[in-house]
Structure 1
Amino acid sequence: MIWFLSAVLCLGALLFLPALQETLRRPLTESMRRNAPGGFAELSQGQTHYRWIGPLRGPVVVCVHGITTPSESFLPLAQELAEMGYRVLLYDLYGRGYSDYVPGLQDRAFLLQQLDDLLAYEGIVEDFILVGHSAGGAIATAFAAANIWRVRSLILVTTVGLHKPRTPMAEFRKHAHGIQDLILRWSYPIVARRYVKGVFSDPRTPDAVRQAQQAQLSRRGYMPSNLAAIRGILRDDFAEEQKLFNRQGLPVLAIWARDDVIIPPQTSGRLAELNRSAKQEVVEDAGHEVVYTHAEDVARLIAENQRRGL
């Protein structure tokens, strides 16, 4: 009987602890939004925070961030590109930064709807450079495949979607279902905090990015949004999309980091097999978060490849 009661209590904790933790986190408020840079667009799924960086008449670059860090992670790169004459659009995915938390699965249809809505809202029809970092690379890849005529070139920075999970825990998170999904809801916040703590420990992380990431951990809707993406777009493989780009001639530049502990080094080889026309570059002494720890290097690679006719 004691063992039975213990099992019931453990199951109850697994069921209700994530919901309790989520209730205790701070919701996004209008007072927080009043101090946010940029503007807000009321889109079909909810309110989206966005901002422009750079001159009014420069070539347009649209940036899609990953699932753990808001659009602030792209600010160092946006500033570098702005100095080169580019006009850069940043926006927060739903549940991150200052955008609304929208319940439900964050699969490619959901995430592409937000991006398509925002581009329409801002009057961006075609001929723009699309940049995606980490999970944002998967979103950017999916969008480019569905709108290949609109995108001038696709830039993927330490992108996911072309590799298998490296560890048993990553595989568990990727394919969780049933009781596994229940455990994932309980364990993911611990894993996410550990990862963010590692980001904070890198002295090359800008203070603004560190503060924005810290704010996410205590924000209501952030953890469920990440889980919704893990169950959604992060389960997809983007091999067919890369084959499509090769056939259709869409210019693709992939930027990798030599010390990336998330993306295996053989991923660049798989991309080369799928898309022979894709150009690939590697940033030395950089990890997965190269987009803001080495923003100058990434901006230089983007600009150089654009000048070469990417």
Structure 2
Amino acid sequence: MDLISGLQEVTRRMLVARGVRSDMVEVGGQRLHHYELKGSGKGPTIVLVHGLGGTANGFARVFFGLAKRFERVLAVDLPGHGFSPEYCLGPTCVRGQYGMLVEYLRKVVGGPSFVVGNSLGGAMSVQLAAEHPELVRALGLVAPAGADVGHELIREVLESMDVRTAEQSRALTKRLFHRPPWVMMLFADMLRGIYSTPAVRALSADALATGEYLKPEVLKGLPMPVLFVWGGSEKLLPHQSLDFFRSHLPAHARVRVVERFGHIPQVERPDELVSELIQFADATGL
């Protein structure tokens, strides 16, 4: 077992020891790993969707805070991420992963939920909400990818994630956080393993080849309550992304630019992210 796998397993065991269920589910012919924590709140099921190279473990520090407000907390490892086996699903890898997410919502969640997506998970969650609104009671977007800001800007982001040296790993770590914890800088070189998996490379190549981005009309037509959270210290995605979403999200969307949030606040500032999600749930009557 390598260091990455070992740390992932330690996190999993710690969650299980605290009452989180870790399980494999069969979805559309693919085995997916997910976490489930039964909550004590009156809110609907909340589903957490990670980004490119991320895992369900990345949400570990928000599970218990969310469980106080919602009836169930779920986090899924997309194919080839975390504990889910590699399986790109053909030449259009992003669409294949998206299809698995749809089937997961149908089969495992089983009803409309509060879907919260980060980065690539945010882009997929927008598409899910637009194409299958019956599955999405409310939508949370945390530093979502998918904005149509021009192919060259997206290419730069994906190239920054193609880490092949220790120096590149440290540079990417700095871009992911407002202020990287020392332990993340110490283990920054692990990113070379995380971002060199077949799933991540296939997803990156597919994104560059297809050049498919979220359409303004898709965003404007979202009927459910929408929360958009952007970090004041966002360094991975181009700042033009914020302008794109601000311009095209529906008028009823709640847009929050939060200081000291980087690209993955669920890791760096979990309590503050939980607070943003609960305030939104309270304000919209979830």
Provide the C-alpha distance between the structure 2 equivalents of 1:55 and 1:173, rounded to a whole number of angstroms: 36
Provide the TM-score with structure 2 as the length reference. 0.77
> Equivalent residue of 1:259, what SS?
coil
Partner in structure 2 of residue 151 of structure 1:
136
Mark the CA change 1:266 to 1:48 in structure 2 (over 3 Å): closer, same or farther: same
Mark the CA change 1:300 to 1:172 in structure 2 (over 3 Å): closer, same or farther: closer
Among 107, 110, 124, the residue aligned to 2:96? 110
Provide the C-alpha distance between the structure 2 equivalents of 1:161 and 1:196, rounded to a whole number of angstroms: 19
Report how far residue 188 of structure 1 moved: 2.3
Mark the CA change 1:137 to 1:167 in structure 2 (over 3 Å): closer, same or farther: same
Mark the CA change 1:164 to 1:302 in structure 2 (over 3 Å): closer, same or farther: same
Among 231, 234, 252, the residue aligned to 1:277? 252
Mark the CA change 1:76 to 1:167 in structure 2 (over 3 Å): closer, same or farther: farther
In the TM superposition, what are the counterparts of 1:52-91 in structure 2 within 5 Å? 52-55=36-39, 58=42, 59-91=44-76
Partner in structure 1 of residue 180 of structure 2:
202
CA contact (8 A) 2:26 2:32 kept: yes
Provide the C-alpha distance between the structure 2 equivalents of 1:293 and 1:98, rounded to a whole number of angstroms: 22
Partner amino acid for 2:107? Y
Partner in structure 1 of residue 120 of structure 2:
135
Mark the CA change 1:222 to 1:51 in structure 2 (over 3 Å): closer, same or farther: farther
CA contact (8 A) 1:45 1:102 kept: no
Partner in structure 2 of residue 236 of structure 1:
212
Provide the C-alpha distance between the structure 1 equivalents of 2:64 and 2:33, rounded to a whole number of angstroms: 18
Report how far residue 159 of structure 1 moved: 0.6
Q: Does 1:294 align with 2:269?
A: yes
Mark the CA change 1:54 to 1:204 in structure 2 (over 3 Å): closer, same or farther: farther
CA contact (8 A) 1:131 1:157 kept: yes
Of the two, which has the highest radius of gyration? Answer: 1
Among 172, 190, 194, the residue aligned to 2:164? 190
> Equivalent residue of 2:133, what SS?
coil
Mark the CA change 1:196 to 1:252 in structure 2 (over 3 Å): closer, same or farther: same
> Equivalent residue of 1:109, what SS?
helix
CA contact (8 A) 1:39 1:49 kept: yes
CA contact (8 A) 1:96 1:216 kept: no
> Equivalent residue of 2:164, what SS?
helix
Report how far residue 197 of structure 1 moved: 4.3
Report how far residue 126 of structure 1 moved: 2.6
Report how far residue 297 of structure 1 moved: 1.2
Aligned-residue identity in percent:
21
Gaps in structure 2 of 5+ consecutive residues? 17-21
Mark the CA change 1:197 to 1:109 in structure 2 (over 3 Å): closer, same or farther: closer
In the TM superposition, what are the counterparts of 1:30-45 in structure 2 within 5 Å? 37=16, 38-45=22-29
Mark the CA change 1:167 to 1:112 in structure 2 (over 3 Å): closer, same or farther: closer
Partner in structure 2 of residue 12 of structure 1:
none
Report how far residue 155 of structure 1 moved: 0.3
Provide the C-alpha distance between the structure 1 equivalents of 2:148 and 2:264, rounded to a whole number of angstroms: 17
Partner in structure 1 of residue 83 of structure 2:
98
CA RMSD of aligned residues (A): 3.6
Mark the CA change 1:260 to 1:148 in structure 2 (over 3 Å): closer, same or farther: same
Provide the C-alpha distance between the structure 1 equivalents of 2:135 and 2:212, rounded to a whole number of angstroms: 23
Report how far residue 303 of structure 1 moved: 1.1
Partner amino acid for 2:39? P
Provide the C-alpha distance between the structure 1 equivalents of 2:169 and 2:150, rounded to a whole number of angstroms: 19
Aligned residues, how many?
263
Q: Does 1:305 align with 2:283?
A: no
Mark the CA change 1:54 to 1:241 in structure 2 (over 3 Å): closer, same or farther: same
**Relative CO higher for 1 or 2, CA cutoff 8 Å, sep ≥ 6?**
1
